[in-house]
Amino acid sequence: MRGNAATADDCGDGVPLPIRQASKGRGDACLRYAAGLVCRVIAAAGMPPAWLAALLILIALPGAPAFGAEIASLQVEPGVPVEQHYGAMTLRFLVQKQVAAVNVSVFLDGHVVGEQVMTPYDNVYPLDMHIDRAGVQGSLLARFGMAGEVSSLEGSFSVSQCREAPGACVLESVPYRLEIANWTWPSPVALKHWTVWITPELNAEVTLQFTADQNVEMDFLTAGLLIRTTSLSQGANLTRFAQGASVATVRIAPNMVLSLRPATPVQTGEIVLKGRFSSSNHHDVRYDGTLVAWRYLPSRTRGASP
């Protein structure tokens, strides 16, 4: 370290002290006075000046980094399982290919201690797991982007693990704050899916896409056979089937109507169905009401930037 404001005149043995140069004049005099005072205290305690110099050098060394070793974010492909290690903790996750979701498993010393499916509606995973010789505390955050946008999995947690010492196990904690992985869905994925039975033989499969216009796709099936299909979105939120349809014993009467009410900060989203249906043991089923509903998803909830 450059500059020595105290020398043999201060400590008596000609040992230079590693103290930074002060400005000339009064500041330099004050620094030399302080160094001399420290030396007199150390001398009274019987510490050799050379030890004092070594002590001051150690104090001047930079401290340890505040977080664990820097780990670059992985660019992952949806549908490909990934495994990452952070000391005693192992993180396994899979970004789903067709659904806006991330399957996450947490292991400590090889033992599974937690599992969760993270979605835009539930994008924070609190971590507070412990076993005998290891633990983790903190959270994971998933930021979900729509098709073409960058999504990411981030972590802010501390991993504690046992460091062997003579006759004891000393727990050491290493903090991590990092982006674990990022990915992009090339095409829209599903946000939610419902199966609604209208009669025991007729079901509606409804999929809300993770898109800005809240596109909803609907299929009406019997025993896996498609009878009717349609999609609704903002700007095209009403469909009316003037013609009826039937497959085997299942029948959809003419003039079935489906309408979309988009979710907003002041209302839930819903698909409303109005129609008449029949099947083997249910000859006149009238449906006039909500088929499915979902709550509004603000950008801050799904973790994306406002």
pLDDT digits (tens, 9 = 90+) for 24-79: 444 444 445 545 555 554 555 565 555 554 444 444 333 333 345 557 889 999 99
Overall average pLDDT of the 124-152 stretch: 94
Give Cα separations from 187 to 113, 120, 129, 237 (angstroms): 33, 17, 36, 22
| 13: pLDDT strictly greater than 50 | no
pLDDT value, residue 67: 45
Q: What mean pLDDT is reported for the chain?
A: 82
pLDDT value, residue 22: 37
Overall average pLDDT of the 275-304 stretch: 87
Which helix (H) or strand (E) covers residue 244, if one does?
A: none
The answer to whether the beta carbons of residues 203 and 197 sit under 8 Å apart is yes
Q: Read off the pLDDT of residues 231-285 as tens digits, 9 standing for 90 and up.
A: 999 989 999 999 999 999 999 999 999 999 999 999 999 999 999 999 998 989 9
pLDDT value, residue 171: 81
Overall average pLDDT of the 103-107 stretch: 98
pLDDT value, residue 195: 98
The answer to whether the beta carbons of residues 7 and 14 sit under 8 Å apart is yes
pLDDT value, residue 43: 56
- Rounded to an integer, what distance in angstroms lies between the CA atom of residue 26 and that of residue 56? 23
Give Cα separations from 165 to 133, 170, 175, 214 (angstroms): 13, 7, 21, 58
Q: Identify the three-state secondary structure at position 53.
A: helix
Tell which residue, 130, 125, 129, has the closest CA to residue 101.
125
Residue 298: band (very low, low, confident or very high) from pLDDT cuts 50, 70, 90: confident
Top-confidence residue, 133 or 292? 292
Q: Spell out the domain ranges in the chain.
A: 8-60, 74-184, 190-294
Tokens describing residue 221: 């099936």
Tell which residue, 188, 98, 176, 87, has the closest CA to residue 146.
188
Helix axes 49-60, 26-45, angle to 10 degrees: 120
pLDDT value, residue 15: 38
Overall average pLDDT of the 79-90 stretch: 95
Whether pTM > 0.75 for this model: the answer is: no
Q: Quick one: how far is CA 138 from the chain centroid?
A: 11
The answer to whether the beta carbons of residues 250 and 228 sit under 8 Å apart is no
pLDDT-wise least confident of 35-44, 66-75, 94-103, 213-222:
35-44
pLDDT value, residue 41: 47
pLDDT value, residue 50: 54
Tell which residue, 67, 113, 106, 116, has the closest CA to residue 85.
106
pLDDT value, residue 148: 94
Torsion of CA 5, 7, 11, 15, to 10 degrees: 120
Q: Identify the three-state secondary structure at position 33.
A: helix
Overall average pLDDT of the 202-215 stretch: 96
- Rounded to an integer, what distance in angstroms lies between the CA atom of residue 104 and that of residue 179? 15
pLDDT value, residue 252: 97
Residue 174: band (very low, low, confident or very high) from pLDDT cuts 50, 70, 90: very high
pLDDT value, residue 66: 39
Give Cα separations from 121 to 12, 16, 73, 303 (angstroms): 71, 64, 24, 9
pLDDT value, residue 228: 96
- Rounded to an integer, what distance in angstroms lies between the CA atom of residue 101 and that of residue 178? 20
